[in-house]
């Protein structure tokens, strides 16, 4: 039986790499009875990190879905990767989640990928709560992390707990709302928290924190403000209800703390998930567009509404294609026919599954609010909308960033080429940020991805999962081209066939567009006398001309094309195909004379180092052509913020290790295509 919607929570855990997401998730599964043994990341036996590559490297690569029951609530949880190379896993998870636990390392606080995923959650309007992890580590500072959440993320962070003890003496938390202490015993791995009085030496600190919490909630809730001003306090139930509303409305972020590895703080975190994060019913209807009219359509989060679901992940499990999707409205049964509105085709759901990491449990049906998987959806891919054809809707798709790195790949045996092509296609179906192409002239296969680790994992999976020996070349940067000047060009196409004469003659002007704005095509002539099909093909022709640039044959970006004039030939009928080809030729002819330039991926780099290494790090980054943006203090360490071309950062892990004697770490995220000189 499907759970009641008000008792359902669809949540995720997001964080920077090594903040402890998977460790916390393993404790959640243990305390909720899903597992009877705690899997550890460092032992390679974490339940949610089931891939061989995840177990070997100790990182999460693919988002995993599981479910559990907590105090009568059905919770569906997605554990997401923290490494920037796999940020699409976070993106597509956030697209279908209702709430998120933003997890932070108690020592490092808000780190680069923490910011990236926070703004991804902002874009998808996902309510959040925060959990400061690793409070047992030397240098952990709860209030400093809260301030970082406020200052670096602009969040209205409201602590609802305070830590009891610090670093190795951390033993529990104070519940600020209910004015009680919660102590976790090492003897039973925190299984039975002890509720007791607040330590006497913390009484003043707790009351000050409660005042701050009340004031913070009163800022966004007039009813609470009125009660607080009149009575000086607020009843617990009223305070919880107001904090829940503020969290769901994204006006507040409750902040908690604990240590996953030492089994402290997990049960109160689960209580807060139930108390403060939304059920589907708490959220506005999901919106999409009508495929024919383009008008906004809505679907209520109800099982009685017409079916609407979004496919957010494709995975090959034991050679079988499994599609994960979120059901926003309606019901879906095993064997049912659904319409893929994105592709305009019908699909049949062969089997439905509830997922527990990589294990599957068969379902007969599913309904609104569920996150499930299905087999049999042969053509469906990430971002596709599945719906009732009688009530068509296209839900917002899922953005996938463009790859920034490539490498040549080939099978060790030539006869395995077709098999490799098939495997690459399956990999691209799974991963929207992975691309591959075969050079028509040389036959060389090129794979493209988000970073060195991304391509390394892809290659390793091909070898292991498909038993296909391959060779992969050294990674190379994916460049793009643009123009820095303007030029007018003409293109002519003329050809006679047995059926007709194909002719086109077009003049265009090209000029630079703003960096990152993409390509724009405008028609700079009176279009009223021409058919829509001709105008459509002319625009397509302009885009055809930007596929390959004059410098290195790379994609041309950030260009504005204005089609100025169509020129006709007496006695020759108008042929849309001819004008499409002529427009493409005109753009290609103009590009070499418009100051073409190469653009490369520019990366934001954050390097955490001992203070003694600061001079070496700055000197090395300057030698690499990078630009130092800022240097910040973080306890005994320094954080260097820099901007560098991706091509200059290959091998930086080894260089940093050498300069800091293994004590330095860095994170690198894609910023934009450009040049460090601003071109």
- Tens of pLDDT along 58-94? 544 566 788 899 999 999 998 776 555 566 777 878 8
* CA–CA gap between residue 516 and residue 486 (Å, rounded): 18
Task: Evaluate if residue 238 carries a pLDDT over 90.
Answer: yes
Q: Is the pLDDT of residue 186 over 90?
A: no
pLDDT for the residue numbered 37: 57
User: Among 3-12, 29-38, 362-371, 485-494, which is the least confidently predicted range?
Assistant: 29-38
Give residue 210's pLDDT. Answer: 95
Most confidently predicted of 105-114, 128-137, 401-410: 128-137
The more confidently predicted of residues 490 and 570 is 490
**Mean pLDDT score, 313-329:** 86
Spatial distance between the Cα atoms of 670 and 340, rounded to a whole number of angstroms: 33
pLDDT at residue 598, rounded to an integer? 93
Name the token pair of 439: 């050079």
Share of the chain above pLDDT 90, in %: 53
pLDDT at 89: 74
pLDDT of 49 strictly over 50: no
Strands lying side by side in the sheet with 286-289: 296-299, 286-289, 394-395
Would you state the pLDDT for residue 42?
44
Residue 2: band (very low, low, confident or very high) from pLDDT cuts 50, 70, 90: low
Q: Which of 48-57, 154-163, 471-480 is predicted with the least confidence, judged by mean pLDDT?
A: 48-57
List the single range of 29-38, 185-194, 350-359 with lowest mean pLDDT: 29-38
The per-residue pLDDT for 675 is 77
Query: Are 297 and 289 within 8 A, CB to CB?
Result: yes
Tokens of 417: 């080429």
Mean pLDDT of 464-484: 89
Q: What pLDDT is attached to residue 156?
A: 96
Q: Tokens at residue 332, please?
A: 């879906």
The first and second tokens of residue 534, run together, are 């001709």
Q: Which residues of 404-423 are buried (b: 16+ CB within 10 A; e: fewer)?
A: bbbbebbbeeeebeeebeeb
CA-to-CA dists, residue 103 to 90, 97, 135, angstroms? 14, 16, 12
In sequence order, the 6+-apart residues with CB closer than 8 A to the CB of 497 are: none
d(CA 442, CA 484): 31
Q: How far apart are CA 279 and CA 241, in angstroms?
A: 14
Min mean pLDDT across 331-340, 518-527, 655-664 is at 655-664
Position 46 pLDDT exceeds 70? no
Whether the pLDDT of residue 43 is over 50: the answer is no
Q: What is the pLDDT of residue 51?
A: 46
Q: Which of 306, 282, 257 is nearest to 126 (CA)?
A: 282
Average pLDDT in the chain: 87
**558, 562, 568, 573: CA torsion to nearest 10:** 60
State how far the Cα of 403 lies from the Cα of 414, in Å rounded to an integer.
Answer: 27
Report the alpha-carbon distance of residue 630 to residue 112 in Å, rounded.
14
Rounded Cα distance between 558 and 591, Å, is 13
| pLDDT above 80: residue 487 | yes
Question: pTM for the complete prediction?
Answer: 0.74
Q: How many CB atoms are closer than 10 A to CB 566?
A: 20
Of the listed ranges 55-59, 338-342, 471-475, 563-567, the least confidently predicted one is: 55-59
| Mean pLDDT calculated for residue range 29-42 | 69
**Which residues have C-beta within 8 Å of that of residue 333, sequence separation ≥ 6?**
349, 352, 364, 365
Residue 497 has pLDDT above 80, yes or no: no
Q: Which of 289, 281, 285 is nearest to 395 (CA)?
A: 289
pLDDT tier at 679 (50, 70, 90 boundaries)?
Answer: very low
pLDDT band at 442 (very low <50, low <70, confident <90, very high): low
pLDDT at 216 over 90: yes
Residue 85 pLDDT: 56
Top-confidence range, 474-478, 536-540, 569-573, 606-610 = 536-540
pLDDT tens digit sequence for 566-594: 999 887 788 899 999 999 999 999 999 99
Q: What average pLDDT score do residues 468-481 get?
A: 89
Q: Where are the beta strands (DSSP E) in 33-121?
A: 64-70, 73-79, 99-105
Instruction: Look at residue 259 in the predicted model and tell me its pLDDT.
Output: 95
Provide mean pLDDT across the span 588-608: 92
* 328 membership: H or E segment, kind and range: strand 320-329
Cβ–Cβ < 8 Å for 483, 557: no
């Amino acid at each position: 039986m499907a759970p009641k919607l008000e008792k359902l929570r669809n949540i995720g855990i997001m964080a920077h790499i090594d903040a402890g997401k998977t460790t916390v998730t393993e404790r959640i599964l243990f305390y909720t009875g899903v597992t009877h043994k705690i899997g550890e990341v460092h032992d390679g036996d974490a339940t949610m990190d089931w891939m061989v590559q995840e177990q070997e490297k100790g990182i999460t690569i693919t988002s995993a879905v599981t479910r559990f029951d907590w105090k009568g609530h059905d919770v569906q949880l997605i554990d997401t990767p923290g490494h920037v190379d796999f940020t699409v896993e976070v993106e597509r998870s956030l697209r279908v989640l209702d709430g998120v636990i933003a997890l932070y390392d108690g020592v490092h606080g808000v780190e680069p990928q923490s910011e990236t995923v926070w703004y991804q959650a902002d874009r998808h309007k996902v309510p959040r709560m925060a959990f400061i992890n690793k409070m047992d580590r030397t240098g952990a500072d709860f209030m400093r992390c809260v301030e970082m959440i406020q200052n670096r993320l602009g969040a209205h962070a409201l602590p609802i707990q305070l830590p009891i003890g610090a670093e190795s003496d951390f033993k529990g938390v104070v519940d600020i709302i209910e004015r009680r202490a919660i102590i976790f015993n090492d003897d039973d791995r925190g299984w039975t928290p002890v509720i007791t009085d607040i330590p006497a030496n913390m009484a003043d600190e707790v009351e000050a924190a409660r005042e701050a919490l009340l004031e913070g909630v009163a800022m966004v809730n007039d009813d609470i403000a009125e009660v607080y001003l009149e009575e000086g306090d607020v009843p617990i139930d009223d305070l919880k209800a107001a904090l829940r509303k503020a969290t769901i409305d994204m006006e507040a972020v409750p902040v908690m703390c604990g240590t996953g590895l030492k089994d402290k703080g997990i049960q109160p975190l689960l209580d807060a998930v139930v108390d403060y994060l939304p059920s589907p019913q708490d959220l506005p209807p999901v919106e999409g567009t009508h495929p024919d009219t383009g008008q906004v359509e809505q679907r209520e989060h109800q099982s009685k509404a017409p079916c609407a679901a979004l496919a957010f992940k494709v995975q090959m499990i034991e050679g079988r294609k499994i599609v994960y999707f979120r059901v926003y409205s309606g019901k879906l049964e095993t064997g049912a026919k659904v319409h893929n509105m994105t592709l305009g085709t019908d699909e049949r759901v062969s089997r439905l599954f509830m997922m527990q990491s990589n294990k599957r449990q068969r379902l007969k049906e599913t309904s609104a609010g569920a996150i499930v998987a299905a087999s049999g959806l042969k053509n469906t891919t990430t971002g596709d909308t599945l719906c009732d054809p009688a009530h068509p809707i296209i839900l917002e798709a899922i953005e996938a960033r463009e790859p920034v790195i490539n490498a040549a790949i080939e099978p060790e045996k030539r006869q395995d080429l077709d098999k490799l092509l098939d495997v690459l296609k399956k990999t691209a179906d799974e991963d929207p940020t992975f691309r591959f192409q075969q050079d028509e002239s040389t036959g060389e296969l090129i794979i493209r991805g988000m970073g060195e680790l991304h391509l390394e994992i892809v290659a390793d999976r091909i070898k292991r999962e498909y038993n296909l020996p391959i060779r992969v070349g050294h990674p190379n940067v994916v460049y793009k081209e643009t123009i820095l000047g303007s030029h007018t060009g003409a293109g002519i196409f003329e050809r006679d066939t047995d059926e007709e004469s194909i002719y086109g003659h077009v003049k265009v002007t090209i000029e630079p567009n703003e960096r990152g704005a993409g390509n724009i095509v405008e028609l700079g002539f009176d279009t009223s006398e021409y058919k829509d099909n001709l105008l459509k093909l002319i625009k397509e022709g302009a885009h055809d001309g930007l596929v390959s640039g004059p410098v290195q044959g790379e994609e041309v970006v950030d260009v504005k094309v204005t089609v100025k004039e169509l020129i006709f030939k007496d006695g020759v009928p108008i042929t849309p195909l001819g004008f499409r080809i002529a427009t493409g030729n005109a753009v290609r002819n103009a590009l070499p004379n418009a100051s073409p330039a190469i653009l490369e991926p520019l990366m934001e780099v954050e390097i955490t180092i001992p203070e003694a290494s600061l001079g070496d790090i700055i000197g090395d980054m300057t030698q690499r052509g990078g630009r130092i943006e800022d240097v910040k203090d973080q306890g005994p360490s320094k954080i260097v913020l820099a901007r560098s071309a991706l091509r200059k950062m290959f091998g930086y892990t080894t260089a940093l290790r050498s300069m800091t004697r293994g004590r330095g770490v860095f994170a690198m995220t894609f910023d934009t295509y450009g040049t460090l000189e601003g071109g």
